[in-house]
Structure 1
Amino acid sequence: MSVSVNSRRTRLRSALAVLLTVLVLLPAAGLLLRVLQENSKQRDNVQLEQDGTEYLNALVPLISALAESQSAALQGVAAEPASVTAAVSRVQIADDKFGKSLETTSRWTGLKAKIAKLPAIGKGTAKIFTAHVEVADLTLALFDTVRENSTLNRDPDADIWFLQDVVAEQAPVAVTAVSRMSDLANMVVAASSKTREPLKLQFAYQVQKVQEVVGDLTDGLQEAVNDTNSDTLSGNLVSNLDSFRRGIEAANRGANFGAGKPDVSVLVTAQSTLQTALSALSGVVLKEMAGLLDDRSDTLTYKRIEAFAVFGVAFALIVVATLWTRGRARQVQAALSEQPGENRRDVSVQAAGATGGSAPANPYGNNPYDQAPSYGEIPNYGGGRERSGAVR
């Protein structure tokens, strides 16, 4: 039986190489898992924001259609405008698609039922106006629900945050305030002296509201342009923002606040101009938001692929290094087994006779005169005289 010290060392080195490989791969795999988890979380969040943007795209026309419905109802038109029917249908499609993830279905179902009841309100200016105000407020609340549940209002990028604030907060409020301001102007002109003062207070409040929201909207768009990476945002906003500002200037002239009665005809024209401008402006803002979110989604997808690629390359290199090390260790072990050197220690145990083994061959042959003397034995030369093979 032979035992090689170098063989033991070689096997030990091979085992250490495998152990080190495992110790390197496990932390690397853990790091990759954490990167992928964070990447998946960000991708899910971006998808939720994209769902919210698409829902807002369907919701924006509804607020303008409701403003149109309010004005028509106050003028005695009982039938629901075609724009309301089309807008409700678009929002229903969006809610069927995203209502579960955005948690809007319950709120939209209640709002839809109230919109359906508007044509059946009956006569009475105050009653009609109050019913439309309630529906518009519920629609604004739905805007808030979408932006909150889609996390658009918590977006980390400044440009997307300001854009969503404009399209989901400032623009709908501006449309609603301008519509109420115009309709209240008509109501003030037609009211009796007894009911005019309360209406004038409401009219004054809506005039002030329009001024505030227009300032917030303009500032928000400017902040978005200053902080965006989009090459098209600024150019696309310029013409639509100019149209919006001209509509506001016309609305202020028609309101004629503090200088006499409001000019209803000017206000009606300004309302139509503002609704068109805000609709176009909202379309541009939503398109820019969708583009920015698509870019972010593409970046996250690239980072995911990059993480897999880096881990794959690292894994391949480690495996190759391990296999090379083990192969080299086998070569060394084979060389040592073929050429025993000074570092090899052999221990042999031989048994003769009882073990059935044969005695080693006598190197001196079978001639009795050629027998090798035993260790310690003094050869007998016949009385001490020298023996010679020659005859004297």
Structure 2
Amino acid sequence: MTVPAPRARRRTSMLGRSLPVLLIVALLAPVGLLFASTWQQTGDDRSLADSERLGVQYLRALAPLTEALVEAQSAAVAGRPVPGEPLSRAVEQAAAVDARIGGQLRSQERWAGLRAKVEALRDRSPADPEAAYTAYGEVTDLLLALHRKVRESSGLGRDPGADSFFLQDSAGQKLPEAVVAAGRLADLGALAARRPPAERLRSLMGLTGLRVSALSPAGDVVDNLRSAVDSSESTDLGANVLTPLDAYQRSVEALALYSTPSAAGTIDQGQLTAAALNSRNAARQLQPVILGELDALLTERADGLARDRWLAGGAGVAAALLLAWLAGMLIAAARRARRRAATPDAGSPAAPPPADPWQPPAPTGQPADPRTLQPVGAAHEPILAQWGPFDASR
């Protein structure tokens, strides 16, 4: 009988040995890229929200300074003593905020120039209303430029949320511009009443330009806040903003009415001054509400981004542990396969021992141990001896 020779095991190819590693890398690469992208994006958004909150803090400090400068300008133009205490207090508050966060918002240089101009104004004599109007106009221009700088450096100007963008645009740009322009409008009306008749046309042209400068941003404030309420998911925004907004809108409508020249080209200065004062008071009530709602939205966004960041980190760790477990399983399977390849199977027949080189091989087709030939009868004699002689009667 021919014994089949055992089959030789195939050696594992290089591709087979490296397949587990390639599979792990193929799974780990997209997971790692997704985790890194999510981590980076949430980190950038969180940093922007934190920076915007610093901008809100700075704008809070600039609001009293804006109001104090407008009141000081009105007093100087009217020939009254400028109240120094409100202006000094507002300057100190703004200086404290700038010393704390001005470096992060890159506003220290602009604040230093504005503060120097304000200090110079307090030493001026109120003898020349025209010169005072011009000087205060330069200072308030620097103040509005500081507002723009804070919005730009803090990231408020590129806020990604619809409701928060409308809020920051109203509190950081439109409302300060409207307050400053309304004060200038009332003060120019007071100056125009004292100018000679030959300058009446120039005064009316100036008043018309300031009227547009005051009413245009005021109207933008109203539109922005209503758009913010409509686009916001916050249920508190509308309830908190709409009441002071309605009061401000009524004051702006009165300012538009009393700043319109009559058919004779004259303006009632008393009514114009009162309307400008009412609009400033309404803005004083509205701006803290806007900044408070804006800060609440930014805080909620920052907290949500922090949660998303930790969730992304947890998902990344879980994915890494799962891939490590899978890698261990694949590596263990590869090692077992290599051990089986190196050890013969227990159930396969053993190979015959090697032949003796000095023993001549048996002829083909002939038994290896030939027996001696015997006659046919002799071969059956032992069997017949066991049964004995044959008896037919049995």
Deviation at 1:79, TM superposition (A): 4.5
Q: Is the 8 A contact 1:182 1:271 kept in 2?
A: yes
Equivalent-residue separation in structure 1 for 2:352 and 2:186 (angstroms): 112
Partner of 1:309 in structure 2? Answer: 314
Deviation at 1:158, TM superposition (A): 2.0
1:48 partnered with 2:51: yes
Partner of 2:347 in structure 1? Answer: 341
State the AA in 1 paired with 2:278: T
Deviation at 1:140, TM superposition (A): 0.9
**Where does 1:129-140 land on structure 2 (aligned, <5 Å)?**
129-140=133-144
1:34 partnered with 2:34: no
Equivalent-residue separation in structure 1 for 2:57 and 2:356 (angstroms): 93
Equivalent of residue 213 in structure 1, options 208, 211, 217:
217
Deviation at 1:13, TM superposition (A): 6.2
Partner of 2:329 in structure 1? Answer: 324
Partner of 2:390 in structure 1? Answer: none
Partner of 1:355 in structure 2? Answer: none
Q: Is the 8 A contact 1:14 1:325 kept in 2?
A: no
Structure 2 CA distance for partners of 1:351 and 1:374, relative to 1, 3 Å: closer
Name the count of aligned residue pairs. Answer: 363
Partner of 1:89 in structure 2? Answer: 92
State the AA in 2 paired with 1:300: L
Structure 2 CA distance for partners of 1:373 and 1:182, relative to 1, 3 Å: closer
Q: Is the 8 A contact 2:79 2:129 kept in 1?
A: no
1:223 partnered with 2:227: yes
Deviation at 1:241, TM superposition (A): 1.3
Equivalent of residue 186 in structure 2, options 176, 182, 185:
182
State the AA in 2 paired with 1:221: L
Q: Is the 8 A contact 2:130 2:191 kept in 1?
A: no
Q: Is the 8 A contact 1:253 1:266 kept in 2?
A: no
Structure 2 CA distance for partners of 1:284 and 1:10, relative to 1, 3 Å: same
1:60 partnered with 2:52: no
Deviation at 1:208, TM superposition (A): 2.9
Partner of 1:146 in structure 2? Answer: 150
Deviates more, 1:88-97 or 1:66-75: 88-97
Q: Is the 8 A contact 1:78 1:120 kept in 2?
A: no
Give me the identity figure in percent: 30
| RMSD, aligned CA | 3.6
**Where does 1:1-392 land on structure 2 (aligned, <5 Å)?**
9=12, 16-122=19-125, 123-255=127-259, 257-259=261-263, 261-327=266-332, 337=343, 340-342=346-348
SS of equivalent residue, structure 1 residue 235: helix
Partner of 2:3 in structure 1? Answer: none
State the AA in 1 paired with 2:305: L
State the AA in 1 paired with 2:119: A
5+ residue gaps, structure 1: 353-371, 387-392
TM-score using structure 1 length: 0.79
5+ residue gaps, structure 2: 1-6, 373-377, 379-394
CA deviation map 1:333-360 (0-9, x unaligned): 7788595233x987988999xxxxxxxx
Equivalent-residue separation in structure 2 for 1:84 and 1:47 (angstroms): 30
